[in-house]
Amino acid sequence: MAELISRVGNKVSFRVAVPAAEVNRAYDQVWAGLSRDVRVPGFRPGKAPRKVLESRVGKGYVENEVRDRLLQAHYPQAARELKLSLVDARIEPEPLTSGQPFTFTVKGETYPEVTLGDWRAAQLTATAPEITDEVLDRTLSDLQERNASFQTAERPIEATDQVTIEELGEEGGSYPVYLDVAEPHVRDALIGKNVGDEVEITVPAHQHGDHEHPEHTVRVRVQGVQTKQLQELNDEFAKSLNFESLDRLRTDLRSELERRARQEGDAARREEFVNQLVDGMQVDIPQALIDRRRESMLEEIQDDLGRQGVKWGEYESFMREQGKLEEFLADLAKNAESRVKRDLALERLAEDLGVQLSDAEFSGTMNTLAQANGLTPQQLQSQLGPNGINAYYVSLTREKALQQALAGLGGQQTDTQQAGAEQGVSEQASTEGTQETSQPQEGEQPEEQRGE
C-alpha cells in the first residue's frame, strides 16, 4: 500500500508498506532459489538446511536479495498507484524482518508541469517513398552487382575491374581494390596500368575518425587484374537466389521494398509528430533535469569507450589537444536538452490520453525483453533495479500514447508499431534507469538497453 507523505512543487515523498505475507513469500522464493542453485557437500540438491545455506552465501545475503526483490516489485507499482511520473528518486528502506511488514520511503522529483499545444490538429506531411519501376530496376541492378563474379583479364586496368595490389615498404601486404567504388585518387592512379607495374598513389590529407592524416604517397605493385562479370537478369539468375523465376523475384522484391518504405514513412511521421509536439509545448525545465540527463549520457559514452579499451581521460585529453572538447560538450548538452524535451512532451501526451498499461501487458513485455537479452525475468529486474523498472514502464506508456495519437491522426501502420515500441522503450529505459537509489547492489543495465 502506498501513502503520499508530501508534495511541494516537483518534490514528492511517499511511503510504501508491503504486507508480511508478501515478505514471507519473497523469503520463500529466495530460499528456494538458493536450495536449488547452491551445492553443499554432504547434502542432496534441495535438502541442505537454511542455516547451512546461509553459511555458504554469507550472512545478510538473503536479506539483501529479499529487499531487492520487494523493491523491484513494489516501488514501480506504488509510483503507478499514486500516478507519479518520477524523474529522480532515492529509496530509503527500513529494516527487513521475516514475518513482519516491510516499509520503505521514496523521496523524488516529478516532471515539471507541461502544457501541450493542440496536437490533435497536427498536420503531418511525411509520406512513404514511392516504389516505382525505376526503384525496383535499380535494386535488381544492385543485386547483380553484389552477385557478380570476376575473371582474370590479360589487359590494362579498366574502371570496373578488381585489382589486387601489393603495398611496398616495411608494413606491406596484399589486398584487392574494387575500382568502381574506390576513391578517385586510387582509381586514377591505377587505370591503364598492367600486372607487374609499380605505381605511386598520392593520398590527400584527410581525417579518419579522430585522427588527422597529412598528404602522403603509397607505392604499390599490381599483382592481378580481374574483370567483373554480371549475370543476365533472367530466371537462372533468380534461381541462383532461391527464387523460382525472375517474375517471382521482382514480385517479392517489390513487396519487401514497399514494406521498408512504409516503415520509413511511419518513422518520418513519428519524428514529425514528436517535433511538433515539442515545438508546441509550454514548460519551465529545471536545469538540474538537463544536467542529470547530460551526466547520464556522458557515463554511457565513457562506458562505451571503456569496452573498447579507451580511457575517458585519454580521450578527453585528445579532444582538448584537437580543440574539439568544447564543441563535444556543447553538443552533449544540446542533445540532453532535446531528449528531456521529448520525454516531457510524450509524458504529457500519455497523461492527456489517460494511457495505462495493464499488469499483463507490462509483464509480457518484460518477459520478452528478458528473453531477448538471454536473461530470466528476475535477472532482468535485478539488473535494471527499481528505478530502471519504473523507467521502462514509463517508456512503454509513452510509446503506447504515441501510437494511439498517431492512429488518431491516421498514422502508424500496424506492421511497424511493435518495432518502434521496442526501440523506443529500450532507449528510454537505458537513459532513465540510472537514477540514484539506496538499495544494495543495484546492477548495471543489460548492454542492449544502453544509449539512445
DSSP per-residue codes, 430-444: HHHTT----STTPPP
437 - beta bridge partners? Answer: none
302 to 53, 251, 296, 377: CA distances (angstroms): 39, 47, 10, 28
Asked if 5 contacts 40 with a C-beta cutoff of 8 angstroms, the reply is no
Instruction: Tell me: pLDDT of 10 over 90.
Output: no
**DSSP symbol at 10:** T
In the chain, which residues fall in CATH 3.30.70.1050? 2-110
Could you tell me which CATH number the domain at 2-110 has? 3.30.70.1050
Neighbours of 107 (CB within 10 A): 17
- pLDDT at 87 exceeding the cut of 80: no
Please indicate whether residue 94 or residue 33 has the higher confidence score (pLDDT).
Answer: 94
Share of the chain above pLDDT 70, in %: 88
The answer to whether the CB of 38 falls within 8 A of the CB of 48 is: yes
Nearest to 201 by CA among 191, 212, 211: 191
Q: Residue 345: how many CB atoms within 10 A of its CB?
A: 26
In CATH terms, the superfamily for domain 262-449 is: Trigger factor, C-terminal domain (1.10.3120.10)
Taking CA 165 as the corner, what is the angle to CA 163 and CA 169, rounded to the nearest 5 degrees? 165
Q: What would the grid cell of residue 230 be? A: 554480371
Ramachandran bin of 46, using left for φ above 0, alpha for ψ from -120 to 50, beta for the remaining angles:
left
- CATH 1.10.3120.10 domain residues, the chain: 262-449
Residue ranges, comma separated, of all CATH 3.10.50.30 domains in the chain are 149-229
Phi, psi of 199 (to 5 degrees): -130, 140
* pLDDT tens profile 376-397: 888 888 888 877 888 888 899 9
Nearest C-alpha neighbor of 356 from the set 42, 83, 63, 137: 83
Mean pLDDT (whole number) for 214-221? 90
At 93-141, the pLDDT tens digits run: 999 988 899 999 999 888 788 999 999 999 999 999 999 999 999 999 9
Question: Residue 164: what are its φ and ψ, rounded to 5°?
Answer: -95, 125
Query: Is residue 253 scored above 80 in pLDDT?
Result: yes
What's the N-to-C CA distance of the chain in angstroms? 34
Fold for the domain defined by 149-229: Chitinase A; domain 3 (3.10.50)
Is 109 or 314 the better-scoring residue by pLDDT? Answer: 314
Main-chain phi, psi angles of 406, to 5 degrees: -65, -35
Angle at which helix 246-279 crosses helix 133-146, to 10 degrees, equals 110
